[in-house]
Copies of this chain bind each other. A is one copy, B any other.
Amino acid sequence: MAIRREFKIGQILIILSTVFLNAKKMSEFKQVIKKRGLEFDNLIDKLDNFKITTPSWAYSEGGTRFYVFKDKFAAKNLFERIKFAGQVNKYTGITPDLSIHIPWDLVDDFYKAKEMADNIGINITTVNPNLFQDDDYKLGSISNSNKDIRDKAVNHILDCVEIGKIFKAPYLSLWFADGSNFPGQTDFIKRKYWILDCLNKVYYKMENYMTMLIEYKFYEPAFYHTDIPDWGTALLFCQKLGNRANVLVDLGHHAQGTNIEFIVANLIDEKRLGGFHLNSRKYGDDDLTTGSLNPYELFLIFNELNKINIKGFRKISFMLDQSHNLKPKIEAMIQSILSSQRIFAKVLTIDRNKLEDAQEKGDIIKAEECLKDAFFTDVKPLLYHFREIKNLPIEPLKAYETSDFKKKLTL
């Protein structure tokens, strides 16, 4: 009898402990969160609101100016890219949107592509014209001194607007490689007016649900001047165009040392932040995996987004823009998405009241530690819970790596 009773107690202990402990990690996390004045459900809501658009070109071979390493497993056309995007979304659950690039993603029948995308649960939300891979654009596209070439560029963008209509895509994302390589080569201001004129022509052809995103870039491929080199110039164009033109911030398009989070905050406040091109860099526009070189900087950038309420937040387009030279494409994408989501989750754990209080009192160390505490908080419980309730694999990268899709792809 005594033995049986002890056995029973032992059993009960084990079961209870296990249940208790399984809940323990989450409960600990909830306690941490609660101490910081945050509600767990609210965090889950915000996390659910964080979606990333993946770019079709990052599923394809990428390279440097020296070489493009072959990758026979890379996607070769829009249909394959939609499939790839579907995989990334299947495993991460937060990438339902795809950004396409014309002509790289030209297909005979976009309606067929749309149908396929719809079936997979992928929306094509962004169209990017290509204004840099044509000999005519050698000295500029919409800033070319030759009107015929400018018209050609405008027409190409208008074609993209039409393609966008097929998908009811809310974003027309514009990046111009235009600039010059040598002092004297061109007149900055004449080009400014050509650009404005061309953009106006496009602006008035966009549907009401469309936003024009104007991207700036510090340098490259032009090496002396770039027509839209900084957020200030991009903003000037947006101001002249109207409310449906907003600035796109690519994390790799700044001078060394630039405080990007300040730019982001400023653009949000001006109601002119259109979206992001997420990636990472150490030197130039390196287009590396998001969060790979300075995750704390990404944290500080995402931190500025917390001031926007959930509804407003969805209006900012989070796109990835990476060039996967060395990594396998789908894995690199999943890694980037998870990396971004992890950092975003950490931002959610900031004790904002304590932070504001410390800021008000000028207690620098305390204010700073609020951010550091959040940055170094283990957010796995939150992410795991989120994935559980969304019926996603807990470890998406590992899940993909052992998936049938991958096996078939790399046969």
Return A63 CB to nearest CB of chain B, in Å: 7
Chain A interface (Cβ within 8 Å of chain B)? 9, 12-13, 16-17, 20-21, 24, 63-67, 69-70, 132-133, 135, 138-139, 145, 177, 180-189, 192, 218-221, 223-226, 229-233, 235-236, 254-259, 261-262, 265-266, 268-270, 281-284, 286, 288-289, 292-297, 300, 304, 307, 325-328, 331-332, 335, 339, 342, 355-356, 358-360, 362, 364-365, 367-372, 375-378, 397
**Residues of B close to A286: CB separation below 8 A:** 181, 223
In the complex, what distance in Å separates the CA atom of A365 from the CA atom of B180?
12
Q: Is the CB of B296 within 8 A of A294?
A: yes
Are A359 and B186 CB-contacts (below 8 A) given A282-B223, A335-B365? yes
**Residues of B close to A182: CB separation below 8 A:** 288-289, 292, 364, 367-368
Return A73 CB to nearest CB of chain B, in Å: 13
**Residues of B close to A139: CB separation below 8 A:** 326, 362
- Picked from B221, B282, B375, the residue with its CB within 8 Å of the CB of A257 is B282
Return A355 CB to nearest CB of chain B, in Å: 6
Kindly list 6 other residue pairs between chains A and B, CB separation below 8 angstroms, not including A188-B262, A224-B293.
A184-B355, A185-B326, A226-B259, A231-B232, A232-B266, A255-B256
Q: Is the CB of B135 within 8 A of A70?
A: yes
Number of copies: 4
Return A320 CB to nearest CB of chain B, in Å: 15
**Residues of B close to A145: CB separation below 8 A:** 359-360, 362
Q: Is the CB of B294 within 8 A of A282?
A: no
Q: Is the CB of B284 within 8 A of A189?
A: no
Are A367 and B185 CB-contacts (below 8 A) given A13-B13, A69-B138, A259-B229? yes
Q: Is the CB of A189 within 8 A of B219?
A: no
**Residues of B close to A254: CB separation below 8 A:** 255
- Picked from B12, B283, B370, the residue with its CB within 8 Å of the CB of A284 is B283
Q: Is the CB of B181 within 8 A of A288?
A: yes
Return A32 CB to nearest CB of chain B, in Å: 11
Are A66 and B192 CB-contacts (below 8 A) given A21-B21, A256-B256, A259-B229? no
Chain B CB within 10 Å, residue with most, of A20, A282, A327, A359: A282
Q: Is the CB of A300 within 8 A of B13?
A: no
Q: Is the CB of A262 within 8 A of B229?
A: yes
- Picked from B65, B219, B294, B304, the residue with its CB within 8 Å of the CB of A63 is B65
